[in-house]
Amino acid sequence: MDQVRQTRDDVWVRAEDSSAVGAVRRMATHLAETSGFSPERTGQIAVAVTEAVSNLVKHAVQGMALVRPCPGAPALVELITLDRGPGMPDVARALRDGYSTSGTLGIGLGAIARIASRYDVHSVPGEGTALAMQFADGDLPALPPASGLTRPIGEEVETGDSFAINVGDEATTVMVCDGLGHGPLAARASHEAVELFLGAPDDDPAAILRRLHHGLGHTRGGAAAVARVTAGSVTYTGIGNISGWIVHGDHRQGMISAPGITGHQGRRPRQYVYELDAHATVVLHSDGLTDRWNPAALPGLFARSPAVVAATLLREAGSRRDDACVVIVRPRS
């Protein structure tokens, strides 16, 4: 099995001026070097990151960039960028060499895609673009069935929201925790939830949540939910205001959480089983994302990779007035 533990908060860089280019490039090259990438591959990653972030600075509105180990495949360096405009009317054309139109993000995208080991993009004219790229140095692992993102409130660095993912042979189990409030004490609660989850991630979701409920009593607690996704179903349980959704095409179905605060108050957690079709997507997010997002207003998004879906929902529904976390899971084939 593969486990994803959030050992550090995602560090987003605002692409507002040229200093962002160097900052993100340094983060990417440091991660590649410490991951054992060859100097040649590290240099290629530096070129791709420089081009991608330069595009954000020159052409995007409210552009942001993130570099990290890829959830589910930590040997990969992952670059995620998102923005609120201008978007690309023709992504396929933007990926062709020589395409350069002022006011778009197409400049250099083909070159970036060639350097990446894997890439995915979703763009809507006038709305914005989300781009996810993974860089390997050698064999390329399979695309993980789940991905998640966090973002702290306002200008804070530390977030009180955390997630963890366990990829088994037949099921993917994920946990999201929103520590009560903000800052270090909220982060302590959510990080403790990650450790408790990863201690026995193959337990039933309700058993996992009971373990979190008992184990977080020495912290301020928070909201938490656990989902286990197989080829045909999702088993879900939650305490507090973590939102769980199943997206089918342009419709979504909510999943049931119990009221309360994990670690302090709440009824004995119950788990519910929901059917999934092969093309469904499971979404878990904290209340740092509003529930008002609508799959029908995001054409083509839920056919994209989990990382791109997570980034787009964070852009569309995330609030700067709260810590935010979103996790996307696909059924196993």
CB atoms within 10 A of CB 57: 17
Q: Residue 110 has what pLDDT?
A: 79
Span 303-315, pLDDT tens digits: 999 999 999 999 9
Q: Residue 104 has what pLDDT?
A: 42
CB atoms within 10 A of CB 321: 9
H-state helical runs in the chain = 19-34, 39-59, 91-94, 109-115, 183-199, 205-215, 306-317
Across 160-173, average pLDDT = 94
Taking a C-beta distance cutoff of 8 angstroms, is the pair 262, 200 a contact?
no
Taking a C-beta distance cutoff of 8 angstroms, is the pair 173, 226 a contact?
yes
Q: Residue 290 has what pLDDT?
A: 96
pTM of the model: 0.93
The domain defined by 146-329 folds into Phosphatase 2c; domain 1 (3.60.40)
Span 98-155, pLDDT tens digits: 444 444 444 467 778 889 999 999 998 888 999 999 999 999 988 889 999 999 988 7
Q: Quick check: 42 pLDDT over 90? A: yes
Give Cα 160 distance to the centre of its chain. Answer: 15
Span 68-108, pLDDT tens digits: 999 888 889 999 999 998 887 667 666 665 444 444 444 46
Domain boundaries, the chain: 8-135, 146-329
The domain defined by 8-135 folds into Heat Shock Protein 90 (3.30.565)
Span 229-267, pLDDT tens digits: 999 999 999 999 999 999 998 999 999 999 999 999 877
Q: Quick check: 187 pLDDT over 70? A: yes
Q: Where are the beta strands (DSSP E) in 37-171?
A: 64-70, 73-82, 118-124, 128-135, 146-151, 161-167
Span 198-217, pLDDT tens digits: 999 999 999 999 999 999 99
Greater model confidence, 63 or 1: 63
Residue in this structure with the two tokens 């009317």, named with its chain if needed: 89
For residue 86, whether the previous peptide bond is cis, meaning omega lies within 30 degrees of 0, is: yes
Q: Residue 94 has what pLDDT?
A: 64
Stretch among 15-19, 132-136, 168-172, 265-269 having the lowest mean pLDDT = 265-269
Span 267-321, pLDDT tens digits: 788 999 999 999 999 999 999 999 999 999 999 999 999 999 999 999 999 987 8
Distance CA 94, CA 52 (A): 13
Greater model confidence, 9 or 125: 125
Taking a C-beta distance cutoff of 8 angstroms, is the pair 34, 105 a contact?
no
Distance CA 116, CA 32 (A): 13
List phi, psi (to 5°) of 57: -60, -40
Using the CB atoms, write b or e for 244-257: b if 16+ within 10 Å.
Answer: bbbbeeeebeebeb
Residue in this structure with the two tokens 């400049």, named with its chain if needed: 107
Greater model confidence, 295 or 58: 295
Q: Residue 7 has what pLDDT?
A: 45
Query: Comparing C-alpha atoms, which of 10, 15, 45, 20 is closest to residue 30?
Result: 45
CB atoms within 10 A of CB 271: 18
Greater model confidence, 19 or 266: 19
